[in-house]
Structure 1
Amino acid sequence: MEINRKRTFGLLTSAAALILVTACNGEGTAPAAETAKSVVNDTKESAELLVLSKVPSITQDEFDRTIAAPIQAKYPNYKVKYIIDGKETTLDKMMVAGQAPDITLTSIGGMYSSLIPLSLEYDLTELIKKYNFNLNRIEPSTIESLKNATSKGAIYGLPKYTNGVVLFYNKDIFKKFGVPFPTDGMTWDEVLKLATTMTRVDNGTQYRGMGFFYSNMLTENQLSAPFLNPREDKSAVNGPLFQRLLQTYKSFYDIPGNKPTEDLNADKELTAFQKNRNMAMVMAPLSGYGRFESDPDLDWDVVSAPTFSDQPKVGYQPNTIYYFISNVNKQADQAFKAVVELLSDDVQLQANKEARPTVLNDEKIRATLGSNHKLFKDKNFKALYYNKFAPIPPANEKLAPLVNAASVVQSEFAAMIKNGTDVNTALRQADEKINQAITTAKNK
Structure 2
Amino acid sequence: MVFSKKWKQAACVPLAMAVLAGCGADPKGTGDPGGAPGAGSGDKPPEPFTMTIYAAGVKPEEFDSRFRGTLEKKFPHITFDYQTSDKGNSITEKVARGEVPDIIRTDTPTMKSGYLDLQLGYDLRELVAKHKYDLNRFVPAFIQDNINTGQTGGLYGLPVPPYFPSVLYYNKDLFDKFGVPYPRDGMSWDEVYDLAVKMSRTDGGKVYRGFSSSLIALLRDNPYSLPILDPEKDGLADQTKWKSIFDNFKRFHQIPNNAVESTFALENAVFTKGQSAMYLGQHSIYFVVPPEVNWDIVSVPALTGAPKLMGQRTPAYWSITQQSKHKDEAFQVIMEMLSDEVQMQDSRNGIPTTLVNKEIREALGKSHPIYSKKNMKALTLYEPTDPTPKRGKDKANVSGSLQESIIWQSFVKTAQGQADVNTVLREADERLKQELEKEKNK
TM-score, reference length from structure 1: 0.89
C-alpha deviation, 1:264, in angstroms? 2.7
Distance in 2 (alpha carbons) for counterparts of 1:18 and 1:242: 30
Q: Deviations over 1:125-148 (max 9, x none)?
A: 111111111011111111111122
**AA partner of residue 417 (structure 1):** A
C-alpha deviation, 1:301, in angstroms? 0.8
Match of 1:227 in 2: 228
Match of 2:59 in 1: 59
- Greater mean alpha carbon deviation, residues 182-191 or residues 281-290: 281-290
Match of 1:151 in 2: 151
The answer to whether the aligner puts 1:251 opposite 2:251 as a matched pair is yes
What secondary structure is seen at the aligned counterpart in 1 of 2:170?
Answer: strand
Match of 1:302 in 2: 297
The answer to whether the aligner puts 1:331 opposite 2:321 as a matched pair is no
The answer to whether the aligner puts 1:42 opposite 2:36 as a matched pair is yes
C-alpha deviation, 1:288, in angstroms? 6.8
C-alpha deviation, 1:400, in angstroms? 4.0
Alpha-carbon distance change, 19 to 239 in structure 1, aligned in 2, over 3 angstroms: farther
Asked if the contact 2:398–2:439 (Cα under 8 Å) also holds between the matched residues in 1, the reply is: no
Distance in 2 (alpha carbons) for counterparts of 1:256 and 1:374: 37
Asked if the contact 2:12–2:23 (Cα under 8 Å) also holds between the matched residues in 1, the reply is: no
Alpha-carbon distance change, 140 to 238 in structure 1, aligned in 2, over 3 angstroms: closer
Q: Deviations over 1:273-305 (max 9, x none)?
A: 111x2210011111176322xx21211111111
- Greater mean alpha carbon deviation, residues 400-409 or residues 105-114: 400-409
Match of 2:24 in 1: 31
Asked if the contact 2:159–2:318 (Cα under 8 Å) also holds between the matched residues in 1, the reply is: yes
Distance in 1 (alpha carbons) for counterparts of 2:155 and 2:118: 17
Matches within 5 A, 1:284-295: 284-287=281-284, 290-292=287-289, 295=290
Asked if the contact 1:264–1:417 (Cα under 8 Å) also holds between the matched residues in 2, the reply is: no
Match of 1:102 in 2: 102
Distance in 2 (alpha carbons) for counterparts of 1:309 and 1:350: 37
Match of 1:6 in 2: none
Asked if the contact 1:169–1:182 (Cα under 8 Å) also holds between the matched residues in 2, the reply is: yes
What secondary structure is seen at the aligned counterpart in 1 of 2:267?
Answer: helix
Alignment length (residue pairs): 421
Q: Deviations over 1:38-91 (max 9, x none)?
A: 44253333442111111x2x3212212212222222222122111111346232
- Greater mean alpha carbon deviation, residues 30-39 or residues 430-439: 30-39
Match of 2:340 in 1: 345
Match of 1:391 in 2: 386
Alpha-carbon distance change, 288 to 333 in structure 1, aligned in 2, over 3 angstroms: closer
C-alpha deviation, 1:211, in angstroms? 0.5
Asked if the contact 1:21–1:143 (Cα under 8 Å) also holds between the matched residues in 2, the reply is: no
**AA partner of residue 28 (structure 2):** T
The answer to whether the aligner puts 1:283 opposite 2:280 as a matched pair is yes
Pairwise CA RMSD: 2.2
Asked if the contact 1:227–1:237 (Cα under 8 Å) also holds between the matched residues in 2, the reply is: yes
C-alpha deviation, 1:236, in angstroms? 2.8
Specify every segment of 5 or more residues in structure 1 that has no aligned partner in the other structure, as ranges: 1-15
Alpha-carbon distance change, 298 to 336 in structure 1, aligned in 2, over 3 angstroms: same
**AA partner of residue 321 (structure 2):** S
Match of 1:183 in 2: 184
Asked if the contact 1:105–1:321 (Cα under 8 Å) also holds between the matched residues in 2, the reply is: yes
Alpha-carbon distance change, 147 to 135 in structure 1, aligned in 2, over 3 angstroms: same
Asked if the contact 2:54–2:105 (Cα under 8 Å) also holds between the matched residues in 1, the reply is: yes
Match of 2:409 in 1: 411
Match of 1:131 in 2: 131
Match of 2:441 in 1: 443
Match of 2:119 in 1: 119
**AA partner of residue 317 (structure 2):** Y
**AA partner of residue 42 (structure 1):** A
C-alpha deviation, 1:244, in angstroms? 0.9
Distance in 2 (alpha carbons) for counterparts of 1:399 and 1:146: 20
What secondary structure is seen at the aligned counterpart in 1 of 2:128?
Answer: helix
Asked if the contact 2:309–2:385 (Cα under 8 Å) also holds between the matched residues in 1, the reply is: yes
C-alpha deviation, 1:198, in angstroms? 1.1
Alpha-carbon distance change, 205 to 255 in structure 1, aligned in 2, over 3 angstroms: same
Match of 2:43 in 1: none
1:427 to 415, 425, 428: 425
TM-score, reference length from structure 2: 0.89
Match of 2:3 in 1: none
**AA partner of residue 240 (structure 1):** T
**AA partner of residue 143 (structure 1):** I
Match of 1:203 in 2: 204
Alpha-carbon distance change, 17 to 273 in structure 1, aligned in 2, over 3 angstroms: farther
Distance in 2 (alpha carbons) for counterparts of 1:152 and 1:280: 46
**AA partner of residue 53 (structure 2):** V
Distance in 1 (alpha carbons) for counterparts of 2:305 and 2:390: 25
C-alpha deviation, 1:385, in angstroms? 2.2
Specify every segment of 5 or more residues in structure 2 that has no aligned partner in the other structure, as ranges: 1-5, 40-45
Asked if the contact 1:47–1:334 (Cα under 8 Å) also holds between the matched residues in 2, the reply is: no
Alpha-carbon distance change, 98 to 288 in structure 1, aligned in 2, over 3 angstroms: closer
Asked if the contact 2:111–2:149 (Cα under 8 Å) also holds between the matched residues in 1, the reply is: no
Distance in 2 (alpha carbons) for counterparts of 1:37 and 1:310: 41
Asked if the contact 1:113–1:401 (Cα under 8 Å) also holds between the matched residues in 2, the reply is: no
Asked if the contact 2:285–2:351 (Cα under 8 Å) also holds between the matched residues in 1, the reply is: no
C-alpha deviation, 1:17, in angstroms? 7.6
What secondary structure is seen at the aligned counterpart in 1 of 2:79?
Answer: strand
Distance in 1 (alpha carbons) for counterparts of 2:164 and 2:252: 24
